[in-house]
Amino acid sequence: MKTLVTTAAAAAALVLAAAAPASASVVSVLGTSAPWNPLVAGNGYFGAGDLSGPEGATGPVSYAVNAGDSITIDYLDGLTGAFGVDLTPIADARGYIDGIFGSGDPDGDPMTPNLTGIGSQSPLPSFYIDPLNVGPPIWLNALLGAFVDSSGKVIGTAFATGNDAYNVLAPTGAVALLLGVNDDLFSDNNGALRVSVTGSSVTGGVPEPATWAMMIAGFGLAGATLRRRRAATV
């Protein structure tokens, strides 16, 4: 079990750094983009030990929003990969459909095995969307969204957007919309998804990897980086 050391100042700094206003509404969600900060108290913890460092996860794409905004998230193009930085990315915003990693019930049949919600020895972010694995499948590297408050805590339940335009209302208390991919081991990821986000008050940008690493360090992340490549499946 991991012990997380958090401070309100560090959490606030993470949100402010990630949600710095920008004019563009179309951004690239990298294959290394984690969907939220798992070290903020109350957030679901995912990760296989590579959440910091030059070859680990980068911060989520973050859009500043106002509560009550009607927001549309639209996947435009691009692919990501989860099985090696030298391999050609093949997953769109739905992720590795029909693979072995993910959450949910792919065929809707309660009598057949479901996905486990576990990636490389630890929960995927999608595990916190569907912890019982009974809903529609959320595959590895699927595009995920989450709203957070000023402390960086996820408000309500995160969601998978899919390839079609996804409409959602920003809940009470939300100050930012975060976007990332459904994975727990980011050091072997590559590629990017190009995504458009529109809303009445939406502004957004991509935080630098160095900023993400600095904030992770501020939360007192301990332990060595796990570097293990997964075997690709057809």
Q: Is residue 198 part of a domain?
A: yes
Q: Is residue 227 part of a domain?
A: no
Q: What is the pLDDT of residues 147-168, one digit of tens each?
A: 999 999 999 999 999 999 999 9
Overall number of domains in the chain: 1
* Domain, as residue range, for 75: 8-218
Q: What is the DSSP string of 73-137?
A: EEEEEEEEESS-TTSPP-BBTTBSTTSS-EES-TT--TTSPPP-SB-SSSB-GGGGT-TTS-SS-
Distance CA(121)–CA(224), nearest Å, equals 15
pLDDT of residue 160: 98
Instruction: Give pTM, 2 decimals.
Output: 0.79
Q: What is the pLDDT of residues 52-83, one digit of tens each?
A: 555 567 888 888 999 999 999 999 999 999 99
pLDDT of residue 166: 96
Q: Is residue 191 part of a domain?
A: yes
Q: Is residue 233 part of a domain?
A: no
Mean pLDDT of the chain: 80
Supply the CATH number for residue 71's domain.
2.60.120.430
Q: Is residue 231 part of a domain?
A: no
Give percent of the chain above pLDDT 70.
Answer: 72
In sequence order, what E strands does the chain have? 26-30, 61-64, 70-81, 102-103, 138-139, 143-148, 154-160, 166-169, 176-181, 190-198, 203-205
Q: Is residue 54 part of a domain?
A: yes
Whether 220 has a pLDDT exceeding 90, the answer reads no
Q: Is residue 33 part of a domain?
A: yes
pLDDT of residue 202: 67
Q: Is residue 225 part of a domain?
A: no
Strand order in the sheet with 70-81: 26-30, 190-198, 70-81, 166-169
Whether 44 has a pLDDT exceeding 60, the answer reads yes
